[in-house]
Structures are given as structure tokens and as C-alpha cells.
């Protein structure tokens, strides 16, 4: 499925520019996963984006399915956007590869509204150990593939503090996103505190 990954990388480059760094991680019994870093300094925004490459090589399958279909099933890559220079966010490369490997390792289907928990900070000293998976189609458009393959969707990751993750488990993703929006939360701030949840 190397041709799929070539198309995915081309789509990422079209949307985000040329990557200025990349790292590769291989886990026992899985494919190779890469994480590409894109620095967006246009207009002084100073946003760094990290995108996985390799998750979409295989479709995600329902863990309850008796037999995995090698062609059909959702495909995705993950994208994390953070303000550059405020924290050592480059240490997120391996954790992002771990998240990208979760469909192969744990048999989970990563979809908008779901939570992914690392059990450790996203980078050393980060106030986040889990992420909320956002809706695709904003930053990087879906990549259509030839039938019967489903499109590759580029899913944004929204870091959650432990309090936000616990609140999301009880109240749901939509209510957490509405709370972030109502409070004007900067989800790209690597140092942000938890949104008030009272």
C-alpha cells in the first residue's frame, strides 16, 4: 500500500507545505509509522503541525468483526497543531506514532468524537495525556481513493487535560467542544489550563 502513502504525503505537502522534519517509528508486529513536522510561519502565526504517515496504509476494522477486510474500512491520518516555541512539543513525535498504531495494535477504530489516552503526557511536562479526535475536512481535505477503498480522512487531535477528559466521558464530546468554544479556548496553546467545567 505504498502508493496510498505516497498520495497521502502529497496531500499533506499540498495543504501544509514542505515538512521540515520527520521521524519514523516501528512497533513490534506493526507497519512503520512516520510523523512529519510542518512549521507554518506565514503571517507570524508560529504554528507547528505534526501529521502521521502510515496509519492509512490499512483500513481500520471493527474489533468485533470475525474477519478483517483488507480493502474496506475507514482510513485516516492524525494532525496535531500547536503554537511553536512555547513548549518542547517536538517530543510528541513518538506519542503520535503510538496513537497512529492503535488501530493495528489495539483494534480500535479512530473516529471523530472518540478519545485516545496515552497514559502519559503528550510531551515532557505537558498538561495533556489524552486527545479528542475532531472532525475532518478543515485543514487537510479528504483524499479520495479508487473504489472500493474509502477516502483517507485527516483527523485533527485536540489535546485534553485530565479534567476535560473525565468531563468528556460523562458529558460527551459535543458538550466539551461547546465549552471550549464558549470560553474562547486556544486549543493550540501547549501551556493552556483546563477550561472551567463548573
pLDDT 10s digits, 1-33: 569 999 999 999 999 999 999 998 887 777 789
Per DSSP, the three-state class of 136 is coil
pLDDT at 70 over 90: no
pLDDT band at 195 (very low <50, low <70, confident <90, very high): very high
Report yes or no: 1 and 13 within 8 Å, Cβ to Cβ.
no
Give, as one character, the DSSP assignment of residue 34: E
| Per-residue pLDDT at 42 | 57
What is the rounded (10 degree) CA torsion for 13, 36, 4, 42? -20
- What's 143's DSSP letter? B
Band the pLDDT of 44: cuts 50, 70, 90.
low
Q: How many domains does the chain have?
A: 1
Mean pLDDT of 113-139: 93
- CB-based contact 130:116 (threshold 8 Å): yes
In a domain, 135, yes or no: yes
pLDDT at residue 43, rounded to an integer? 47
- Which residue has cell 501529521? 51
Q: Which residue has the higher pLDDT, 46 or 156?
A: 156
71 domain-assigned: yes
The answer to whether residue 46 sits within a structural domain is: yes
Query: Is residue 124 scored above 90 in pLDDT?
Result: yes
187, part of any domain: no
* Residue 9: closest CA among 51, 71, 41, 61: 51
Q: Could you tell me if 139 and 11 are in contact, meaning their C-beta atoms sit under 8 angstroms apart? A: no
pTM of the shown model: 0.92
The DSSP code for 146 is S
Mean pLDDT of the chain: 90
Q: Are strands 152-160 and 75-83 parallel, antiparallel or unpaired?
A: parallel
Give the residue numbers spanning the domain of 130. Answer: 2-182
Instruction: Kindly state the cell numbers that stand for 143.
Output: 483524499
Residue 197 forms part of a structural domain: no
Provide the pLDDT confidence category of residue 65 given band limits of 50, 70 and 90.
low
Tell me how crowded residue 160 is: count the other CB atoms within 10 A of its CB. 27
- The answer to the question of residue 26 being in a domain is yes
Within a domain: residue 162?
yes
Task: Dihedral sign for Cα 167, 135, 1, 122, please.
Answer: negative
Percent of the chain exceeding pLDDT 70 equals 92
Amino acid at each position: 500500500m505504498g502508493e496510498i502513502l505516497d498520495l497521502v504525503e502529497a496531500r499533506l505537502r499540498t495543504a501544509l507545505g514542505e515538512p521540515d522534519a520527520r521521524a519514523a517509528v516501528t512497533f513490534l508486529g506493526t507497519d512503520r509509522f512516520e510523523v512529519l513536522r510542518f512549521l507554518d510561519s506565514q503571517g507570524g502565526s508560529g504554528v507547528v503541525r505534526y501529521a502521521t504517515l502510515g496509519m492509512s496504509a490499512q483500513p481500520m476494522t471493527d474489533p468485533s468483526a470475525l474477519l478483517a477486510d483488507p480493502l474496506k474500512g475507514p482510513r485516516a491520518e492524525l494532525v496535531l497543531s500547536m503554537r511553536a516555541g512555547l513548549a518542547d512539543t517536538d517530543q510528541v513525535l513518538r506519542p503520535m506514532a503510538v496513537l497512529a498504531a492503535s488501530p493495528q495494535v489495539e483494534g480500535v477504530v479512530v473516529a471523530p468524537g472518540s478519545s485516545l489516552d496515552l497514559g502519559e503526557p503528550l510531551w515532557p511536562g505537558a498538561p495533556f495525556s489524552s486527545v479528542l479526535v475532531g472532525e475532518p475536512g478543515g485543514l487537510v481535505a479528504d483524499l479520495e481513493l479508487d473504489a472500493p477503498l474509502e477516502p483517507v480522512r485527516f483527523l485533527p487531535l485536540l489535546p485534553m487535560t485530565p479534567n476535560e477528559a473525565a468531563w468528556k466521558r460523562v458529558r460527551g464530546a459535543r458538550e466539551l467542544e461547546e465549552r471550549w468554544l464558549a470560553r474562547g479556548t486556544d486549543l493550540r496553546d501547549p501551556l493552556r489550563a483546563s477550561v472551567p467545567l463548573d
